[in-house]
Amino acid sequence: MTLLARNLGPYTTTAVGLGEMPLTIEGKPDLEQAIETIHAALDAGCRHIDTAWAYYESGGEEQTGEKLVHQALQSWSGPRQDVLVATKVGHFRNFTDGRPTWDVDGSPENLIRRGKESAKALGVDSIDLLYFHRPDPKVPYEQSIEAMKQLVDEGVAKTIGISNASVDQIDIALGILGDDLVSVQNQYSPVFRESEDTLAYTAEKGLAFVCWSPLGGFRKAKDDTVFEVFRQVARQHGVSYQQVVLAWELSKGRHVFVIPGAHRPATILDSLQAGELELTIDELAKLG
């Protein structure tokens, strides 16, 4: 199967990628199933995997997500060099009062150290696409972005992305990184449309827009009724409503990518077909 491909910075990759997070944080499957899920995606033609330094269980060994991606690629017999592997630095996990949480450290020292650790865990000299995971309110944004630039200058990363970024932060990053900035990864789905301003702005600036939690996240949505209209369209096409959600997101612009998460092969195999699903103008109008 040839999947829909789009340009992301200097890369041509599949519009539907695999979000690795559910395979290594709380609720993860066993290692065998995790590897099977990644291999199933790759065998079906997926060429974009998204991971992060901070994808590990709270209180557990760090960087298990990056190590899993490395292990899965090493044991895969296909063309590894064609797979765009994106990772992120700036987040870490906390385990306070038995509750797993996410914390940020956007200091230049931390970003540079973690970027180098990410390259090592992924088993590469230079990371294809390295994101600054989330702005740190304790550190001026410029300082964090300067550190990301240093990682490109030192060859640790080939290109840079920013995540959870506003329009103003995109402008700051463009000013410092210029053409090295290729992608913005923000939350976007039927249950989270607040990032529509950055979706439009990235198109204007020639940047990719990667939707995180494109299906609303792997925890049950607070308001599931927003998916009802997607279910109606899905019934007409005889496909899952998740495929309709992903196809609707991809219809927002040729610069848009989706990285659905999966705990098992079946769900990512279904999601990967979304790029081929054609929605009519009337259906898109109905979906909003």
Ligand X SMILES: NC(=O)c1ccc[n+]([C@@H]2O[C@H](COP(=O)([O-])OP(=O)(O)OC[C@H]3O[C@@H](n4cnc5c(N)ncnc54)[C@H](OP(=O)(O)O)[C@@H]3O)[C@@H](O)[C@H]2O)c1
Residues forming contacts to ligand X in the complex (CB under 6 A) are: 19-22, 50, 133-134, 163-164, 185, 212-218, 240, 242, 259-264, 267, 270-271
55 is catalytic: yes
Task: Supply the minimum distance, in Å, between the C-beta of residue 216 and ligand X.
Answer: 5
* Sole residue written with tokens 């899965």: 72
Task: Supply the minimum distance, in Å, between the C-beta of residue 134 and ligand X.
Answer: 6
- Residue 2 gets which letter from DSSP? P
Tokens of 85: 């592997």
Q: Please, which residues have CB within 8 angstroms of residue 111's CB and are 6 or more apart in sequence? A: 89, 90, 132, 144, 147, 148, 151
**Chain residue whose CB lies nearest ligand X:** 261
Task: Supply the minimum distance, in Å, between the C-beta of residue 208 and ligand X.
Answer: 13
Give residue 151's identity as a one-letter amino acid code.
L
Strands (DSSP E) contained in 137-203 are 157-163, 181-187
What SS3 class is residue 84? strand
Buried b (16+ CB within 10 A) or exposed e, 156-187: bbbbbbbbbbbeebbebbbebbeebbbbbbbb
Nearest residue (CB) to ligand X, 278 versus 282: 278
Chain centroid to Cα 126, Å, comes to 18
Nearest residue (CB) to ligand X, 29 versus 60: 29
Residues 258 and 273: their CA atoms lie apart, in Å, by 12
Task: Supply the minimum distance, in Å, between the C-beta of residue 225 and ligand X.
Answer: 17
Nearest residue (CB) to ligand X, 106 versus 214: 214
Nearest residue (CB) to ligand X, 30 versus 282: 30
Nearest residue (CB) to ligand X, 169 versus 213: 213
Task: Supply the minimum distance, in Å, between the C-beta of residue 20 and ligand X.
Answer: 5
Q: Looking at 11, 55, 201, 241, which residue is catalytic?
A: 55
Catalytic residues: 55
